[in-house]
Structure formats: structure tokens, C-alpha cells
Amino acid sequence: MSSEKKQTLDRKLILQHHPIDGQNIKELIAAGMTWLNTNKQTVNALNVFPVPDGDTGTNMMLTMQSAYEEIENSPEQHAGKMFGAVAQGALMGARGNSGVILSQIWRGIASAMKDEKHLTGEALARAFSSARDTAYKGVVRPVEGTILTVIKDIAAATEKELDRTDDPVELLEVAVEAAARSVEHTPELLPVLKDAGVVDSGGKGLFFLLEGMTRWINGESLDTPLTEVKPLDALKFDNSMEAIEEGQDFEVVVDFRPGNPFDLENFYARLEEMGTSIQVGEGEGMYRMHIHVPTDNRYLPIDFCMEIGTVTNVAIENLMAQMEALEAKAASRIELTPLEPGQIGTVAVAPGTGLGKVFASLGVAALVEGGQTMNPSTQDIMAAFENLPTNNIIILPNNKNIILAAEAAAELTVKQVHVVKSRTVPQGLAAMMRLAPNGNFDEVVKEMTAALDEVETGEITTATRTVEIDGVKVKEGQIIGMLNGKLIVSSSDLAETCLSLLGKIKMDNYELITMFYGNNISLDDASEIAAQIEEAYPDHEIEIQEGGQPHYQFIFAIE
């Protein structure tokens, strides 16, 4: 018997026949986090809406990373105390709705396990039941067909199997099987998933997290994702800058035609020896390979592709230079309004430097960078207001996927904090117009909340998938327009989409159209479209402002 196979067998036997303590829990958490990280892009891709906000996998991974950092160097042997630390770390690092709900699942597990020195089967089943209850209580309007349903089904399955076994390893395997079935069933419970042809992303992330634990127990790989070859037109590298690993200095993309029978598994294995962030796409016999590599390896993927076929195109980008440019742009200073002790301080989440400057001009006391694809954590939001010289704080999340993290931050502080639930940037700006720093806190909150309904929000972006939602047919790559978060128009022309979007609004009820242009469109192009809008709406005031937001060519505020 090989030493590796024996080690795996020993690991499973130890966990099944010896008490599972805090250090064993740490190993299981590390394994689950690793497998989730390996498959996070698969989770990210499960995005129902054809907009660039597929960040569920990333949010869940960053939440787990924060949880693991809390326990990484802990010598704690008590299982309940270890779970408590995991829950605390997850809560502070929670990002996006998926991350916050995941942190609530850990909170429920920790609550059930707090007095348990070891993890037994009975304690695990009770922990999953507590996780279910805590997660459902943490959501105002629970929706079935989501991660909530998956944790509910896990709890039911493990409770049922307690009559058969009290082995925590066996019950963990039961939980993984239940999660897999539940995830596959989510489209039947949530029509929007079925229409888009995907399963729930949060539920899938929870499945990967638990599956990673059982894979580690059984000695299976945690570093190689399930092999997936995408169509060439679906292969996107726009988010490759989200996390550049240390030492991975260049991005290499190679198009090639294999000359011999193509062994995809061997191809991946060889590439993993060269670098990270590997993606492969295929279409009509043509393959496209993407990889991040250190400087010394920048030509190795090209030579490798030449060995197995005919290279037709090569692109090499210096990632460090790109990161330096992005950091220099982000370093542009924004002057915030000084806050006096006792005044009302506002914290606003802004997706771009330009929009940050607009919020600053309206009097925000602190800014948090974030928005689509970059949801700030609970701790990020807390850090923005904890040191402000006042106990009266109002948070403007300005994105529906940041509201839960903002509310979690509000619950963790001794300060008087209220979240005005702005779901869009224009709503946040409208609320800021009602800020009275020296006013009565409750009255100001009431006024700012009322302002949310006085502005229409239009958003223009490029579709990330082909889908039909609410009768609107969208092809990947088309320009789409959303009104207050609802998809209403699509076309192949940017100006046409903007005009069609405005045509869906009763413009006679409004006077001002403010166009915030993103970092993917020039001022000249934005001005040309603004001129067409001005011609179509001569009685309205048109303003153009730099927003600097990623992914969205325009954010419209119609007032």
C-alpha cells in the first residue's frame, strides 16, 4: 500500500474512531475553503441576470478566508470554541448577500456547538438544524431555491440519518449528498433560475465548501477544479485582475490548433506547473489558453502550445504594470467633509472615483469602495465609521448586494447606526440631498429614506450571457438597459439602448437627467450620446459627470 493511500485511510479511521476536536475542525475548514477557492469561478458563472455581478463565489471565498484567518494560528482543542472563532471571522469578513448568509450559517453552527468539546454525529445534525434556523431568521423575506433551501435540506437529511448512525464523518457525507440534490433542485423552486438554465450560486458554493471537507477526508485532490472547457465566445478575462497572485507577473493568452489527439487533463497538468489562473476555451477545433505566470515562465506556455499544435495568435500582458496603473488611478485624493462631534455622519459605498467625489461634495463623512463585483465586507464598512468623531451614523450601501453586510456592521457596533437601504447609486445621491448633519437623527433617517423613491435609476452595461428575462431577449455581448434593477431593453447599439431606456420612463414627471459615465467609455463618446438625448428631450436638463464605475457604461439618475 502506498504511503499516500495509507495516510488517507489513517485520516478517515482517526476521524471515525477518535474524538474530533478543535484542531480537526481547523483542518476541515481549511479543506472546505481550499475546494471552494478552486471552484469559485464555477460559482461566479452561475449568474441569473446577464450583468457583470457574478461574484458569489468570490464573496463566499473571501468570507471563508476571513473565517480561517481567525483560527489559522489557534491551538484551541475545544470544538465549540473553534466553531465560535470561525463564526466570528466569517461575520467580520462577510461580503455580499451570499457571504452574510454563509456567516449566519456558521453562527448557527457555533451556537449549537458552544458547549461541545468534540464533534459527534448528534452534535453535527443539531448544528445544521441551528444553522438553518439562524440563516432563515437573518433574512427578512426568505426565498426558496437559494442557499437557504440547501441548508434546510442538509439539516433535514442529517436529522433523518441520526437513526442510522452517529458517525460525524458519515453524516458529513450525508450532508454533501443532500446539498448536491438540493442544488440541482433549486431551478424547480425558483423560476428565474430555470429560465436562465442555472442552479443557485450560493447553494452551489455551500456544496463545494462541504464537499471539500469530505474530499480531504478521502484523500482526493483539492487543487484541480472539475475540468471545464468553455466555448471561445464565453471565455472572459475581464476579471483576471481581481487577484494577481504574488510572483505571477504576466498574463499569457495563446490561440492554437492541436495537431494530435488532445489530452485535456495532461494539458491542464502541464500548465499548472507553469502558473495559475488557467482557463481554456474551445470552438471549431481552435483552442484558447489563458494563464498567469512569473516573469521567467512567460514564454513557456507559448512553447508548450507550439509542441502540441499550430499557434495562430499570442498575447502577453504585464500584470504588474497594469496593477500599478490601477493603483495610481485609485490613489487620486478625495476630500471628505470634516465631521464635528455629535453630528450625523454618513458612510457611502461608491463604485468609482468620480462617484466618490460626488458623494464627497454632498457631505459624506466616509467612503467605502465597492459595488458590482466588489462587495465590501462587514469589517470594511465598520472600519469606515468606527473612528468617526460621532455616535450617529447613517450607511448608504447603494447596491442591493451590500445591504446585508451594512446591516451586520450596524449590529456589531455600540454606536447608533441606521442603514438607509439605497439599492442604487442615484438613490444614495438623492438621500444625501436630505442630509442635515445637525438635525434630529430619526427625522433625518426618515427624510433620507423617503428620498429613495424620488429618483429613477437607469443602468447601461454589456450582457454577460444569452438569456430571456421578463420577455426581453438578450444575447451575450449586447448592450442592455435596466430601470430600477429590472431588465427592460437590449440592442447592439449603445446610444439606441440609452434612448430606449429613457423611452420607458414617463419623462414628463422629471426635469433632470444626470449621466455618470464609467471607466469603459470616453468623455467624448459620452458627450455624443448626451447630445442625442438632449435632442430627444429638449425640455430636460442634461448633465454629464465622470462616475468611474467599472462594467457599466452609464448610470442614469432621473429626477
Beta strand ranges found along 28-181 (DSSP E): none
Distance CA 534, CA 502 (A): 12
Closest CA to 60 of 300, 462, 320, 405: 405
DSSP string of 379-420, one letter each residue: HHHHHHHTTSS-SEEEEE--STTTHHHHHHHHHH-SSEEEE-
Q: Under a CB-based contact definition with an 8 Å cutoff, are residues 76 and 112 in contact? A: no
In the beta sheet, which residues pair with residue 316?
A: 252
CA atoms within 13 A on the CB side of 81: 9
Identify the CATH class of 3-217.
Answer: mainly alpha
- Angstrom distances, CA of residue 16 to CA of 13, 103, 167, 409, 498: 5, 27, 7, 39, 61
Q: What is the DSSP letter of 374?
A: B
pLDDT at 452: 94
SS3 158: helix
Q: CA 76, 77, 79: angle at the middle one, nearest 5?
A: 100
Distance CA 451, CA 557 (A): 13
Q: Under a CB-based contact definition with an 8 Å cutoff, are residues 254 and 281 in contact? A: no
Q: Specify the pairing of strand 309-318 against strand 250-258.
A: antiparallel
Distance CA 477, CA 539 (A): 33
Closest CA to 364 of 314, 422, 311: 422
Identify the CATH class of 334-451.
Answer: alpha beta
Q: Under a CB-based contact definition with an 8 Å cutoff, are residues 495 and 529 in contact? A: yes
Q: Count the Cβ atoms, other than its own, within 10 Å of residue 476.
A: 15
In the numeric block, the cell 495562430 is attached to 312
- Angstrom distances, CA of residue 293 to CA of 19, 40, 77, 236, 252: 43, 20, 40, 18, 8
Please give the backbone phi and psi of residue 212, each rounded to the nearest 5 degrees, phi first: -60, -35
Same CATH fold assignment for domains 3-217 and 456-558: no
pLDDT at 140: 73
Q: pTM for the whole thing?
A: 0.74
CA atoms within 13 A on the CB side of 173: 12
3-state helix, strand, coil in the chain (%, to 5): 50, 20, 30
pLDDT at 287: 80
The dihedral sign for the CA sequence 457, 461, 465, 467: positive
pLDDT at 531: 93
Distance CA 239, CA 504 (A): 32
pLDDT at 239: 42
Distance CA 524, CA 63 (A): 40
Q: Which residues contact 304 (CB under 8 A, 6 or more apart)?
A: 270, 271, 274
CATH superfamily assigned to domain 230-326: ACT domain (3.30.70.260)
Q: Which residues contact 456 (CB under 8 A, 6 or more apart)?
A: 426, 483, 484, 505, 510, 556, 557, 558, 559
pLDDT at 226: 55
What ranges do the domains of the chain cover? Answer: 3-217, 230-326, 334-451, 456-558
- Angstrom distances, CA of residue 132 to CA of 32, 109, 141, 153, 378: 19, 9, 15, 9, 21
pLDDT per residue as tens, the chain (559 positions): 344 444 555 676 667 668 889 999 999 999 999 999 888 888 888 876 666 655 788 889 989 999 999 999 999 999 999 999 999 999 888 888 888 899 999 999 999 999 999 999 999 999 999 999 999 988 778 889 999 999 999 999 999 999 898 899 999 999 999 999 999 999 899 888 887 788 899 999 999 999 999 999 988 888 866 544 444 444 444 444 344 455 667 888 888 888 878 888 888 888 888 888 777 776 667 787 888 888 888 899 999 999 888 888 888 888 777 666 555 555 456 788 888 888 999 999 998 888 989 999 999 999 998 877 678 889 899 988 888 888 999 999 999 989 999 999 998 888 899 999 999 999 999 999 999 999 999 999 999 999 999 999 999 998 887 888 878 888 888 999 999 988 899 999 999 999 999 999 998 889 999 999 998 889 999 999 999 999 999 999 999 999 888 889 999 999 9
In the beta sheet, which residues pair with residue 371?
A: 374
Q: CA 474, 480, 485, 486: dihedral to nearest 10 degrees?
A: -40
Domain 456-558 fold: Hypothetical Protein Tm841; Chain: A;domain 3 (3.30.1180)
